[in-house]
Amino acid sequence: MPYDLAKETGTWANGEYSDSYPRILEKLGVPADYVQAVLDMKVPVEVTVSGDSFTYKMTEFGETSVNTFTLGVEGEEKDSSGSRKVTHTMEGDSMVSHYPNYDGTGLVFTTKRYFLDDNTIRTEMKCGDLEGWL
């Protein structure tokens, strides 16, 4: 079954995560003293879909960001931690997001999201040489 972007609308909280996830957050530039706050936060997300385009509206750390993307087309993502180029594609039952230069120093970051059930999204990630999930 293809990945249903519209099902992401709601408020999401981090649940279980791999032992490497906090290290991935730090590698992505999250200061060590903020890692626990990221692990504990709940993120309200609104997703609207129109054909191959979709818009994410999310609030984290009191800052709301709105980003619109087209599948298969590189776009600019802006959020509370900055802005970066990303390309989203669908691969079977997953949405894959590829950041070729996440932090401006050439750090490659890729995520693969899929639903485990109606209330759980699993995100597998590769950040440079680190791999993990949440």
Q: Quick one: what percent of the chain has pLDDT higher than 90?
A: 66
The Cα 96–Cα 52 span in angstroms is 14
92: left (phi over 0), alpha (psi -120 to 50) or beta: left
Each residue's pLDDT tens digit, 64-80: 999 999 999 999 999 88
Is residue 118 predicted with pLDDT exceeding 90? no
- pLDDT, mean of residues 47-64: 89
Indicate if the pLDDT at residue 13 is higher than 90. Answer: no
pLDDT of residue 11: 83
Look at residue 60 and tell me whether its pLDDT is greater than 90.
Answer: no
- Specify the pLDDT at position 34: 92
Longest dimension (CA), the chain: 40
Distance CA 35, CA 86 (A): 23
Q: What is the mean pLDDT of residues 29-51?
A: 90
pLDDT band at 32 (very low <50, low <70, confident <90, very high): very high
Q: Which residues contact 16 (CB under 8 A, 6 or more apart)?
A: 134
